[in-house]
Amino acid sequence: MIRIGHSLCALCALTLLLHAGTVAAQSGGARTNTAQQRIDPEAVPRPEGFATRTNVPINIDGRLDEDVWSEGIPITEFVQSKPNTGYPATENTLVRILYDERNLYIGAICYESEPDRVTITSLERDYQTLNSDVFGVSLDTFLDRRNGFIFWINPRGAIRDAQAFDDSRTRNDAWDGIVDVRTVVADSGWTVEMAIPWTTLRFDPTQSDRTWGINLNRRIRRKNEDVYWSPLDQREYIHKMSRAGTLRGISDVQPGRNFLLKPYVRAMRAEGDALIDEDRGYDYDGGLDLKYGITPRLTLDVTYRTDFSQVEVDREQVNLTRFPLFFPERRDFFLENSGTFTFGDVRGMSGDPRTGASLRDFTFFHSRRIGLQGSSPVPMEVGGRLTGHLGRFELGLLNVQTKSFAGDPPENFSVVRVRRKILRNSDIGFLFGNRQATGSGAEYYNRSF
């Protein structure tokens, strides 16, 4: 009898201890359960999450203190990709997703057992995420399991955003989406509150109930730890949309008119004794960019006499070789759906260590070759660009006419890209490019297929 009583006391004590550990883990901070079981990221089913509709206004201040956030269904189970693939995250993360007729709202609480060691290296747009604590979200709004929009937020609210194509094969980091983000760093960790307008995202408005692909990511820099809601292997990233989870519950929202007109006017007057007669006087110019969503999956871009003066400056690079450097495209006209024209991997890999070659060296078409001669801009007269999906085909059409420059005749650039997905993760198609002089007497051209 005495032996049984001791066993009961021990069992009760163990039960209370396990219950206390569970409550502590749910309330935030480091996980206390040491009996962690590893899963295989390649074998486990993809998780499902739900977005909750709200009619209550949300103030984006990073605090998540409105009562409406408690209505969202929590997402809490994150799994390590690095360093211990398949094991539970060592720090808790809680995410809720809401929406209304204007925005998609994402709120995240990133619990941290050592909040004074949260790492923040930059406040600039499109910062380097590898060196910072990060919360990330990727959205596959057409559920094609190949393409997506990605947003990374650091604890001080800096944003990095991108478009990903062809199931993580290429990525356009120069794409900038409109998004409202606020963050707060506190004693228990840091929080993210973000509102993504429906006009930032492309999706099919004819579907009454939308099902999207989604993945959530957190990087804990001091531990070199990457965790994902939809588990990934070490070699995979958040924009691997074929491995993403599923988001349900969004209905009765519209993407907006998707029409953007951006004109510009420039005027100049030059006077002074230091100028020669030819440089004195008045000069003026004007032009515009137009973007129109013909369908939810087909976008038309038009430019007329655009000087691209608003374009972000290139990052500095040091070249100690005899080969030209690769600079990514940053001009708005060429950005959206730029992955449609990719034939080769512009992200590049380390390549063969003996030759130094990478997949980037075999890129078939790069739009930075249009409108530039060396480091000097070549005036663009007019350009049109149609990109997106038409039925089961991915389509890209581009035509740009440049002016004469530095003694060279005007040129016309044309590109046609057609591709169709086959099997699970393959495609078949073609890409045709033509560069041709259009001035009187000019006969040279370059055509590739």
pLDDT in tens, 246-255: 999 998 888 7
* Whether residue 94 is found in the same domain as residue 111: yes
Q: Distance between CA 148 and CA 238 in Å, rounded?
A: 10
* Whether residue 188 is found in the same domain as residue 221: yes
* Whether residue 283 is found in the same domain as residue 184: no
The mean per-residue pLDDT over the stretch 92-108 comes to 96
Quote the number of domains for the chain: 2
Q: Distance between CA 419 and CA 399 in Å, rounded?
A: 18
* Whether residue 160 is found in the same domain as residue 186: yes
For residue 140, the SS3 value is: strand
Determine the structural domain holding residue 206 and report its residue range: 27-251
Among the three residues 251, 271, 291, which one is the final residue of a domain in this structure?
Answer: 251
Q: Distance between CA 135 and CA 89 in Å, rounded?
A: 14
180-196 pLDDT, tens digit per residue, is 999 999 999 999 999 99
Residue 435 maps to a domain: yes
* Whether residue 40 is found in the same domain as residue 123: yes
Instruction: Tell me if 249 sits within 8 A of 52, measured CB to CB.
Output: yes
Counting residues of the chain whose pLDDT is more than 90, the rounded percentage is 53
Containing H/E element for 26?
Answer: helix 2-27
For residue 189, give both structure tokens: 């960790």
Residues pairing with 219 in the sheet: 134, 226
* Whether residue 301 is found in the same domain as residue 212: no
For residue 32, give both structure tokens: 């206390």
* Whether residue 243 is found in the same domain as residue 351: no
Residue 103 maps to a domain: yes
Counting residues of the chain whose pLDDT is more than 70, the rounded percentage is 87
* Whether residue 217 is found in the same domain as residue 279: no
Residues pairing with 446 in the sheet: 435
- Model confidence pTM above 0.85: no
Q: Helix (H) and strand (E) counts for the chain?
A: 2, 24
- Is the model more confident about 94 or about 171? 94
Flag whether pLDDT at 178 surpasses 70: yes
- What is the 8-class DSSP label of residue 332? H
368-378 pLDDT, tens digit per residue, is 889 888 778 88
* Whether residue 291 is found in the same domain as residue 243: no
The mean per-residue pLDDT over the stretch 96-102 comes to 95
Beta strand 426-437 with 445-448 is antiparallel
* Whether residue 345 is found in the same domain as residue 411: yes
136-149 pLDDT, tens digit per residue, is 999 999 998 999 99
Residue 13 maps to a domain: no
319-375 pLDDT, tens digit per residue, is 888 877 888 888 889 988 888 888 755 444 444 445 555 656 667 888 988 988 877
384: exposed, middle or buried (Cβ count in 10 Å: 0-12, 13-18, 19+): middle
Question: In the predicted model, what is the mean pLDDT of the chain?
Answer: 85
Among the three residues 208, 232, 251, which one is the final residue of a domain in this structure?
Answer: 251
